[in-house]
Amino acid sequence: MLSYRHSFHAGNFADVLKHLILIKILEYLHKKDKPFCCIDTHAGPGLYELNSDYALKNKEFENGISRLWQQPNLPASVEQYVKVIQHFNVTDQLNYYPGSPLIAQHFLRVQDRLFLHELHSTEIERLTQTVKKDRRIKVFHADGLKNTLGLLPSKEHRGLILIDPSYEIKTDYQSVVDTLIQMHKRFATGTYALWYPVVDRTRNQHLELALKQSAIKNIQLFELGISADTAEKGMTSSGMIVINPPWTLQADMQETLPYLATQLGLDHAGHYRIETLVKE
C-alpha cells in the first residue's frame, strides 16, 4: 500500500537539485536532432499547486524554489532551472511547481518520446489529466522499475531513464540497484539518473558500494545537504547518481552546487559532494 504523496514535498531543496540536473540532461539530449526517449519510472502527479493544503503543511518549497525565485545574479544552470519553473507560472507569483513529467514534456520535440509510470491510484489519475493527450507520451499505471525493463533498449538508442523512488521501504535501496544493473545490461549507452535521499547514511554507503561493484562504468554523484547528517528522523541531504552523464555536467555542478549549498542550506551553511564513483 503506497502512502507517499510528493505534494507535501514539491519544490523543496531535493526537487531543486533533481530537476536542475534533469533539465541539464534533457538540454544535452536536445543538442542533436536525432530523437531521444525519456523514461520516468516514478512520475508522481505531474504538477503541484503550492497553495494546496498538502504543500502548505510543511511549506518545504520555502527552503527550495522560493529561495531562488526572485534572486538576482543566479549561476547559469540555476537561472535556466528557474526559467523552466517560471514557464508554468503565468504571473511573477510562484503558484505552481512542475514535476518531472511536465519538465520532460517541456523539452520534447516532435521526434521524441516520453514514458511515464505511476503506481498510486490517485496520482495516476492526476498524472493522466496533467499530461493530457500528447501522442509523444505514454502513461503506465504500473511498477516503473519492472515495466522499464520491457522498454529497453529503446528504438531511439539515446535517452534518459529517471529513477525517482519514494524509498518507502528499506529494501527499495537494494531493488533499485538490482534493477538498474539489469536496465544497464539492456541499454548500456543510456543515461540513468537515480535520485536518493540521505536519511540514514549507512544505506547510502551500501547503495554507492553496490554501484561501484556493479561493473557499470562512468558513474558520477552530485549531492546537496542543507544540514549535517543526523540519527533523528528526516532528510538532511539528497543527491543524484548519474550514469553516462553529459560530459559538461560535472563542470556545471562545480559552479552550481556551492551556490545552492549557501542559498538553500540552513543558516546558509549547506554542504555538497561531487564525486566520480566509477570512471569512464
CB of 265 to ligand SAM, least distance (A): 21
DSSP 8-state assignment for residue 189: T
Whose cell is 544540514? That residue is: 227
- Out of 12, 77, 166, 236, the residue judged to bind ligand SAM by CB under 6 A: 166
CB of 93 to ligand SAM, least distance (A): 21
Alpha-carbon separation of residue 59 from 26, 56, 154, 224 (angstroms): 28, 5, 39, 19
Which CB atom, from 38 or from 249, has the smaller least distance to ligand SAM? Answer: 38
Query: What type of residue is 255?
Result: E
Nearest to 46 by CA among 112, 119, 128: 128
Query: What type of residue is 107?
Result: F
Report the distance separating Cα 53 and Cα 259, nearest Å: 30
For CA atoms 83, 242, 182, 144, the dihedral sign is negative
Does the protein bind ligand SAM through residue 60 (CB under 6 A)? no
- Out of 112, 123, 223, 252, the residue judged to bind ligand SAM by CB under 6 A: 123
Stretch 125-164: interaction string toward ligand SAM, x if CB under 6 A: ------------------xxx------------------x
DSSP 8-state assignment for residue 190: S
End-to-end CA separation in angstroms for the chain: 39
Total interface residues for ligand SAM by CB under 6 A: 20
Residue nearest ligand SAM (C-beta atom)? 99
CB of 210 to ligand SAM, least distance (A): 19
Is 33 one of the catalytic residues?
A: no
- Out of 11, 35, 44, 239, the residue judged to bind ligand SAM by CB under 6 A: 44
Chain residues in the site for ligand SAM (CB under 6 A): 2, 4, 6, 18, 42-44, 99-100, 117-120, 123, 143-145, 164-166
Q: Which residues are known to be catalytic?
A: 164
